[in-house]
């Protein structure tokens, strides 16, 4: 009798492990792999790296399936729902290269029903219904055919939790690939969405004294937040390659000696937008930005973003009157085209509004890795380009060529922005968040603390009307352009560019003010 009971228990345990393995394989082949469909595989080495990344996601999925399947009631409640969600998200990944991100979740609440109905087609309905039916059948099988003892259930649940924690939290090498792909990006994107919203709803009341002077009656101020554009690859700064021929024709004024302390977007953007400096870095996370001062001065404010929202600067995005995403569903793990030119329709719509005074902030994707996704290779200026997302699989020439091609694309994009401003009273200020390492001493991208990361590209363009209206500002800018400033200057200078007089502006950090002593 005892032997028979043990045999039955062992059979159920074996059946349970086979069941979990089969369900995991099902998820691995249908859902986990959806995030790799556009990844280039030029060599066997690249294939192996991607295979191990996929393996890490499947391993994490095994832990997830283990946890939810130890109890048949939990499994029959959660598994069909999870499978249906994964099916819908995988469908959009396969057909449109769209991934779940906090920005996409944001859009689900912004868009109306008509907008969402327009993306639902017959095939989506068919595969979703089939997925739901199959998942219900699987759940019923688990409910009726597999029985686990309390002890076995606890042990397997703990093993599953250990696997989930290892792949999502404790192992940094696994956490990135796992968190950005199905099924775990459902959890991580949702958590980030609520974190961002919590940050955007913070109460900050920094600028209680309104501006004494509101500046011009009619003015458009455009601030472009660049991405990974280093100053020494800017043609206007003496770079031998023609990376910015269009901006050169537009007589932009470059500031080649701007220094940024933070070298990551999540730190540098809050620093740039606020009164934060080396003495008071905490202001980046406790104060409002110059956006509020512009609003107090009667400006209509808009933020157009080609990057996802991050909690460190989510507050400032919502500080604007209008927030527009143009990057919905794009991530650095999905290698579909991700172009700043996609910003232009939203930009034109904002300019077509009848506001006399407006501030437009544009957050670009610029020169972020993976470089080839940010320009069209067939029309690229410098060749050959990188062929692999694995940096070591590319030559130095390919990396630099592709990086410079992203700058050429930025040149074209900013040129288009300028064309819409030429016949109005307008000023455009460009400042990149940080630079980029391109192999110096074996360092790449912006994952460390390197000299080339601290010097971002920065320049100013003004319309003829603006120059005629504020000749003293242009003269001051010319006099200050070779001085050394930290990115602290931006808050005070953009307020100065609009001729807004406020007690919160430090004139010594305004590049549009002459004869000041403070150079950083």
Helices 44-69, 72-96: crossing angle, 10 deg rounding = 150
Tens of pLDDT along 466-484?
999 999 999 999 999 999 9
Residue 198 reports pLDDT greater than 80? no
For residue 468, give both structure tokens: 């005629």
Which residue matches tokens 């999870």? Answer: 82
Cα end-to-end distance, the chain, whole Å: 85
Write out the two tokens for 267: 């730190």
162-179: average pLDDT? 88
pLDDT exceeds 50 at position 24: yes
Dist. CA 256–CA 454, nearest whole Å: 12
Interatomic CA distance for residues 177 and 331, integer angstroms: 11
Across all residues in the chain, what is the average pLDDT? 90
Tokens of 87: 């099916």
pLDDT tens, position by position, 440-459: 988 898 867 889 999 999 99
User: Residue 517 — pLDDT band, cuts 50, 70, 90?
Assistant: low
Q: Are 296 and 184 in contact (CB under 8 A)?
A: no
Of 75-84, 109-118, 392-401, 414-423, where does mean pLDDT reach its minimum?
109-118
* pLDDT, position 2: 44
CA distance linking residue 34 with residue 54, whole number of Å = 10
Question: Boundaries of CATH 3.40.720.10 in the chain?
Answer: 220-509
Q: What angle do CA 40, 46, 48 make, to 5 degrees?
A: 130
Q: Which residues pair with 428 in a beta bridge?
A: 222, 461
d(CA 244, CA 233): 9
288-331 pLDDT tens trace: 999 999 999 999 999 999 998 888 999 999 999 999 999 866 66
Locus of tokens 């095939």 = 123
Q: How many CB atoms lie within 10 A of CB 289?
A: 29
Helix extents (H) in 201-244: none
Residues 6+ apart with CB under 8 A from 438: 396, 399, 400, 403, 444, 452
Angstrom distance (rounded) from CA 91 to CA 378: 28
* CA within 13 Å, CB half, 496: 21
- Kindly tell me if the per-residue pLDDT of 1 is higher than 50: no
Q: At what angle do helices 184-200 and 311-319 cross, to 10 degrees?
A: 50
For 232-248, the pLDDT digits (tens) are: 999 999 999 999 999 99
Does an H or E element contain 221, and which?
strand 219-226
The torsion region of residue 442 among left (phi > 0), alpha (psi -120 to 50) and beta comes to left
- Whether the CB-CB separation of 219 and 425 falls below 8 Å is answered with yes
513/505 Cα distance (integer angstroms): 11
CATH homologous superfamily for the domain 220-509: Alkaline Phosphatase, subunit A (3.40.720.10)
pTM, two decimal places: 0.85
Report the 10 Å Cβ neighbour count for 200: 18
């Amino acid at each position: 009798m005892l032997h028979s009971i043990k045999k039955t228990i062992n059979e159920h345990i074996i059946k349970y492990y086979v069941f979990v393995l089969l369900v995991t394989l099902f998820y691995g082949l249908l859902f986990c792999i959806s995030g790799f469909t556009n990844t280039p595989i030029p060599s066997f080495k690249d294939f192996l790296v991607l295979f191990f990344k996929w393996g890490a996601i499947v391993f994490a999925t095994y832990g997830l399936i283990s946890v939810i399947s130890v109890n048949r009631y939990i499994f029959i409640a959660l598994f069909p729902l999870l499978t249906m969600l994964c099916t819908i998200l995988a469908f959009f990944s396969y057909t449109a290269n769209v991934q779940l991100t906090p920005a996409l979740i944001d859009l689900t609440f912004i868009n109306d029903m008509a907008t969402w109905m327009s993306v639902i087609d017959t095939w989506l309905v068919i595969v979703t219904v089939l997925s739901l039916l199959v998942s219900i059948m699987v759940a019923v099988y688990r409910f009726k055919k597999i029985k686990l003892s309390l002890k076995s259930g606890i042990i397997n649940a703990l093993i599953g939790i250990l696997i989930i924690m290892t792949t999502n939290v404790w192992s940094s090498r696994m956490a990135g690939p796992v968190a950005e792909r199905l099924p775990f990006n459902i959890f991580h994107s949702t958590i980030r969405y609520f974190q961002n919203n919590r940050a955007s709803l913070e109460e900050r009341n920094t600028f209680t004294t309104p501006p004494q002077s509101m500046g011009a009656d009619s003015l458009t101020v455009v601030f472009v937040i660049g991405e990974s554009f280093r100053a020494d690859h800017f043609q206007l700064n003496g770079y031998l390659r023609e990376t910015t021929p269009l901006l050169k024709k537009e007589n932009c004024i470059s500031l080649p000696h701007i220094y940024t302390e933070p070298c990551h977007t999540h730190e540098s953007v809050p620093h740039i937008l606020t009164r934060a400096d080396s003495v008071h870095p905490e202001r980046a996370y406790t104060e409002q930005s110059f956006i509020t001062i512009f609003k107090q001065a009667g400006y209509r404010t808009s933020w157009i973003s080609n990057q996802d929202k991050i909690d460190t600067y989510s507050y400032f995005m919502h500080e604007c009157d209008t927030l527009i995403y143009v990057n919905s569903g794009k991530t650095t793990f999905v290698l579909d085209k991700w172009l700043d030119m996609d910003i232009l329709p939203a930009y034109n719509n904002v300019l077509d509004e009848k506001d006399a005074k407006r501030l437009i902030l544009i957050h670009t994707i610029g020169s972020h890795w993976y470089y080839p996704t940010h320009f069209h290779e067939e029309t690229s200026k410098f060749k050959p380009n990188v062929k692999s997302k694995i940096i070591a699989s590319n030559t130095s020439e390919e990396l630099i060529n592709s990086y410079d091609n992203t700058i050429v694309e930025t040149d074209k994009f900013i040129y288009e922005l300028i064309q819409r401003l030429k016949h109005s009273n307008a000023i455009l200020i460009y400042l990149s968040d940080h630079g980029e390492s391109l192999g110096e001493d074996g360092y790449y991208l912006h994952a460390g603390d390197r000299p080339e990361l601290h010097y971002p590209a920065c320049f100013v363009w003004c319309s003829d009307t603006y120059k005629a209206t504020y000749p003293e500002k242009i003269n001051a800018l010319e006099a200050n352009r070779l001085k050394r400033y930290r990115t602290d200057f931006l808050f005070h200078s953009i307020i100065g560019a609009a001729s807004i007089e406020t007690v919160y502006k430090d004139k010594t950090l305004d590049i549009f003010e002459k004869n000041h002593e403070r150079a950083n």
